[in-house]
Structure 1
Amino acid sequence: MSETGTVTGEDGDARSKAARSPSLWLTILSLIAFVLLIALGVWQIERRAWKLALIDRVEQRVHAPAQPIPSPASWSTVSAASDEYRHVSLSGRFLHESETLVQAVTEEGPGYWVLTPLQRDDGTLVLINRGFVPSERRDASTRRDGNPQGRVEITGLLRITEPKGGFLRTNVPQHNRWYSRDVAAIAAARGLGEVAPFFVDADAGSQIAGGPIAGLTVIRFPNNHLIYALTWFALAFMLAGRLIVTFGGGLFRRKRFVQDKAGGPEASARRTGSDAGTIVEPT
């Protein structure tokens, strides 16, 4: 305000504009965040398409007719992408004295998976997850009637080894504590020879009376990618809306101020506000 009580509109408008305008760095960071949120949303859409294709592929494998397991010559090429959950068949003789119990929690309750080597006619070994036993049947002497001594035919799902251990639990072979079906570690602990780098989950048709409960393989693939994508997109549009309000709102207020007549009711109502123009004190 000057000695005559006059404040120029240009000075007031400059101060108001400076107070309302975001900093350059804040604007740049907001734009980068917007682009990143959109990219995350697109990535989740792509992940969803991949997950749906995976689910469809696994469903086809599980319900296909059982095929012989891969030959030893191709064991090095077996992978989760090309072989896991494939419906397979094999035959041989169980080596019950070398079975391994792996802790498990199933729809039957807590207990153990019983992994037993199956020796095939060519001498190679394949670990068979024969199924589940509760804690009270942990000792093999409680289920001798379910341990066949002769040749058996097994069908089930090919599974990829689970190295090191389970969630927050590491296998302790020296104390015979197992939390995951780590084929290589189990084979080494039991002194087995040439063992397939995978194991087979026996299906219900391979269950033997008095033996472990087979056919409990759970196939579940969480698919929340659409929810994640919508969340990222929503955050991006909220940020975009905030930027529009920040920049567009100031422009709108400036336009209104220019168009209002100096002596109009709007100018009078705003003369002490941040958008005030020239103020002349009455004499």
Structure 2
Amino acid sequence: MRGKLIGSVVLGAAGLALLVSLGNWQVRRLDWKLGVIDRIETRMAAAPVALPVSPDPEADAYRAVEVAGRFTGRTLRVQSAMEGFGAGYHLIQALETPADGSLLIDRGFVPQGQPLPPAPTGAVTITGNLLWPDEQDGFTPDPDRQAGLFYARDVPSMAGLLGTRALMVVRRDGPAGGGALVVAPVGTAGIRNDHRGYAITWYSLAAVWLVMSGFLIYRMAKQSKGKAA
């Protein structure tokens, strides 16, 4: 019985240490993610700069930029939803620039049922943020390329269809069409940050494990004492 008691104490301590360490790891991950979000928000709010020569998805994501050129070609629709407006479409179109070639502009959001506003003609200057969206998963339907309808902002596919660089700027200011077009700037709300919840889960499991292990060890110790008597 004494050997079983010692084994239970060791097992209980090991399990508790493991669960607490997992909770501590999630706290460290939470601190890291909050730092990432803070850097992104600082980058988004910064004064716009010229488009980098070779934009990098890690170093330049969400960077505020200013591009000038003319809208060309067809408008692609990306089925989506926006708080306060419901279902609708992001409008994606090519912007031909003299300095940076042709790139994708997310002109904004149009609620479902509203007519699609045409892009302005002539030269425009767009202020926005670089974005490499990660919106696709195994359940995302294939796009209808002929109709220009996508179900995620798949930059490489849309760039291939419109003949632009695989680069997207999400407009936050500048002319891009009137009508029902709503500015839909980038934000950090969509960045997953579940580490707080995971930490609470691991610490809760550690507390439950401590209580259950303590109760088991108490019963075993009591039984051992009774037999010894």
- Counterpart check, 1:41 vs 2:41: no
Equivalent residue for 2:143? 172
Q: Quote how far apart the aligned CAs of 1:21 are.
A: 4.5
**What's the TM-score, normalizing by structure 2?**
0.82
Q: 1:135 to 1:246 in 2, by over 3 A?
A: closer
Q: 2:160 & 2:104 partners in 1: Cα distance? A: 13
Equivalent residue for 2:93? 116
Q: Quote how far apart the aligned CAs of 1:233 are.
A: 1.8
- Counterpart check, 1:203 vs 2:172: yes
Counterpart residue identity of residue 197, structure 1: A
SS, match of residue 233 in structure 1: helix
Equivalent residue for 1:62? 44
- Counterpart check, 1:237 vs 2:207: yes
SS, match of residue 46 in structure 2: coil
Counterpart residue identity of residue 100, structure 1: L
- Counterpart check, 1:133 vs 2:110: yes
Q: 1:29 to 1:197 in 2, by over 3 A?
A: farther
Q: Quote how far apart the aligned CAs of 1:30 are.
A: 5.2
Counterpart residue identity of residue 56, structure 1: D
The equivalent position to 2:66 in structure 1, one of 89, 98, 121, is: 89
- Counterpart check, 1:213 vs 2:205: no
Equivalent residue for 1:154? 126
SS, match of residue 214 in structure 1: coil
Q: Number of paired residues?
A: 226
Counterpart residue identity of residue 44, structure 1: Q
Counterpart residue identity of residue 156, structure 1: G
Q: 1:158 to 1:59 in 2, by over 3 A?
A: same
Q: 2:34 & 2:207 partners in 1: Cα distance? A: 27
Q: Quote how far apart the aligned CAs of 1:49 are.
A: 0.5
SS, match of residue 113 in structure 2: helix
Give CA deviations for 1:104-127 in whole Å, capped at 9, x if unaligned: 101222111110100001471110
SS, match of residue 130 in structure 2: strand
Equivalent residue for 2:159? 187
Is contact 1:161-1:198 (8 Å) kept? no
- Counterpart check, 1:228 vs 2:198: yes
Counterpart residue identity of residue 105, structure 1: A
Give CA deviations for 1:238-261 in whole Å, capped at 9, x if unaligned: 323333333344335544x5xxxx
Equivalent residue for 2:220? 250
Identity among equivalent positions (%) equals 29
Is contact 1:204-1:215 (8 Å) kept? no
Q: 1:241 & 1:196 partners in 2: Cα distance? A: 59
Is contact 2:5-2:220 (8 Å) kept? no
Q: 1:69 to 1:63 in 2, by over 3 A?
A: same
Q: 1:82 to 1:122 in 2, by over 3 A?
A: closer
**What's the TM-score, normalizing by structure 1?**
0.68
Could you say which structure has the higher helix fraction? 1
Larger radius of gyration: 1
Q: Quote how far apart the aligned CAs of 1:196 are.
A: 3.1
Q: 1:45 to 1:206 in 2, by over 3 A?
A: farther
Q: 1:166 to 1:210 in 2, by over 3 A?
A: farther
Q: Quote how far apart the aligned CAs of 1:59 are.
A: 1.4
